[in-house]
Copies of this chain bind each other. A is one copy, B any other.
Amino acid sequence: MKPRLWAPFASRVEIEILNQDPNLILKMDPVRSINSLGWFELQDIDLKPGTDYRFILDKEQVVPDPRSVWQPEGVHGPSRVVDHNSYNWQDDTWKGFSLSSAVIYECHVGTFTPEGTFKGVMKKLDYLIELGINTLELMPVSEFPGRWGWGYDGVDLYAVRDSYGGPQGLKELVDSCHQKGIAVVLDVVYNHFGPSGNYLSKFGPYFSDKYSTPWGDAINLDESGSDEVRNFLIDNAVTWFKDFHFDALRLDAIHAIFDTSATHFLTQLSDRIQDLSAEIGKPCYLIAESDLNNPRVISPIEIDGFGFDSQWSDDFHHSLWAILTNETNGYYADFGTIADLAEAFKSAFVYKGQYSIFRNRSHGSHPVNKRYSNFLAYIQDHDQVGNRAIGDRLSHVVDLDFVKMAAGLVLVSGFIPMIFQGEEWAASTPFLYFSDHSEPELGQAVTQGRQKEFASFGWDPSCIPDPQSESSFLNSKLNWDELGESKHQELLQWYKDLLRLRKDGKSLGDCALGKIDIEYSEEEKWLIIRKSSKLAIVNFSDSKAGSNLSWIKNSVKVLLSSQKVDLEDLRKGYLPPKSFIFLELN
């Protein structure tokens, strides 16, 4: 590797090559080309893989490489040279996948298995295949400070978390997935950097005070020097696809990526990734987490959209969760009716410009020319579970009947379904928020911030698990022994049945938004979604609801049902209490 560094804030840059006696310090040359302002390089040196090195700015500041691929001693330590070309990929037969057919399983490497490593995840791939999963999504794996964490406070964007297995371990995982026919999605954070171990501001104008994010300084994407900051992020996206063979990236909280320049950073990113897809001959997808309810996110770049392939649908989650739990705190204040859920099924966005009580403003706009596969549906994810006071899952809040109904709606829908680790067997473990900030002030701020947040919802602060406590991390680890118990097996079988239906092409399937028929009764609490001969029926009420629908005149075939179905009752229009039924009309 020829050392290169963009550091326009430094007038002198040296590289220190370690593991020698004495360590070698070499002055780097400023690049003189107009297109490379602020870059330093050393043309004559080629660092061998495995070499440890760091940079010295202006004779003072010793810093790791911001594009380091491996930080074996953590975010403050030296960087280690990795040769991407030396990995011997075995996934030649993998030609990518179709996102609209994906069934995604979201996992946090540190808590998914007892080992908490990529190798641990690899041991579970056969389990996932048996479950019916074809796509694995990893929560962020970029190096972050501390012994554990969710990963959204990453500071070395290019470096793969050493404790998970480092870059080699990650490649082995992706390689193994591909050989088993599983696509892999990586969660990346381009809206902020973690507060600790963040040396970027020493190098150049990575940050801006034009905008502010809830998590710290905004990244400079549209002011002086922003071209290289944008390149830093875009090259990072490229490396995951190209050097690590990922099939898709999930971008965290794109609503906090601020850019008012003529070409939005996300449009530029999509454009680059579309080119890359052609270059490497494999589909490369981008998926957004967006709180904007703005269809522009998933509109083509040709019409000034951000060009994302799909985005998470919180409105679907919230409308379903609110009905299942009757919760009204926070954003659930905006949901709670069957009509909301029906709207989520019809338009993905429930809020398309209406006034939102939670936001105290109008929210969203109409999605035009969008498909179901432009949206991910889920009833659990790391945020929706982990951002609750005690990290409790749906299965901790409602009984198994409701859990099954929720899974039914998610997994037969035309949306891209996503399951959160352990959801499929009603894991008894919570998924808590956990962090390990070594700076006492920062750690205290995280602890108190969380206590304060939930105190506003009436929680006793002493009942809120401390994110900084090791137990919050350990308690969030899945307990795979539970799978032996019949209750867990029962739910697991239900998930398998639903996914089998989906795999066999018998679920509702992808199509343009709105091209389904929906009927519901707010009072009787049932909802029917029909697409040609397929019907998904859910009765949220405790009593046998009367649906009174015309289809009952057809002869019907029950493909799947969460409760025992009496066909005679069904023909009379009666739906079993707390049931999900999937029918085919003849």
Closest A-B pairs by Cβ, 4 of them:
A262-B294, A262-B365, A224-B360, A226-B361
Chain B: minimal CB distance from A303 (Å)? 6
Contact check: which of B261, B304, B353 meets A263 at CB < 8 Å?
A: B353
Please count how many residues in chain A sit with their CB below 8 Å of the partner chain's CB atoms. Answer: 37
State which of A181-189, A205-213, A372-380, A475-483 sits at the interface with chain B: A205-213
Chain B: minimal CB distance from A257 (Å)? 9
Chain B: minimal CB distance from A228 (Å)? 9
State the CA gap A534–B227 with chains docked (Å): 41
Q: A224-B361, A260-B292 are in contact. List 5 more A-B contacts (CB 8 A).
A: A211-B211, A261-B362, A261-B363, A263-B353, A263-B362
The A323-369 residues at the B interface (CB cut-off 8 A) are: 353, 355, 359-365
Contact with B along A59-89 (1 / 0, CB 8 A): 0000000000000000000000000000000
The A interface is mostly helix, strand or loop, or mixed, namely: loop
CB nearest to A367 among chain B residues:
B262
CB nearest to A214 among chain B residues:
B210
Copies in the complex: 2
State the CA gap A363–B259 with chains docked (Å): 12
Q: Write the residues of chain A forming the contact surface with B, with a CB cutoff of 8 angstroms.
A: 34-35, 37, 209-212, 222-227, 255, 258, 260-263, 292-296, 299, 303-305, 353, 355, 359-365
CB nearest to A222 among chain B residues:
B361
Contact check: which of B224, B262, B305, B361 meets A223 at CB < 8 Å?
A: B361
Q: Are A258 and B260 also in contact (CB < 8 A) when A355-B227, A361-B224 are?
A: yes
Residues of chain B within 8 A of A365, CB atoms compared? 262-263
The answer to whether A361 touches B227, judged by C-beta atoms less than 8 angstroms apart, is yes
Q: Are A362 and B260 also in contact (CB < 8 A) when A209-B212, A210-B212, A212-B210 are?
A: no
Chain B: minimal CB distance from A461 (Å)? 25
Residues of chain B within 8 A of A209, CB atoms compared? 212
State the CA gap A222–B359 with chains docked (Å): 9
Contact check: which of B225, B296, B363 meets A360 at CB < 8 Å?
A: B225
27 sample A-B contacts, Cβ–Cβ < 8 Å, listed by A number:
A37-B360, A210-B211, A210-B212, A211-B212, A211-B258, A224-B360, A225-B360, A226-B361, A227-B355, A227-B362, A255-B260, A261-B292, A261-B294, A261-B361, A261-B362, A261-B363, A262-B292, A262-B293, A262-B294, A262-B296, A262-B353, A262-B363, A263-B353, A299-B304, A303-B303, A303-B304, A304-B305
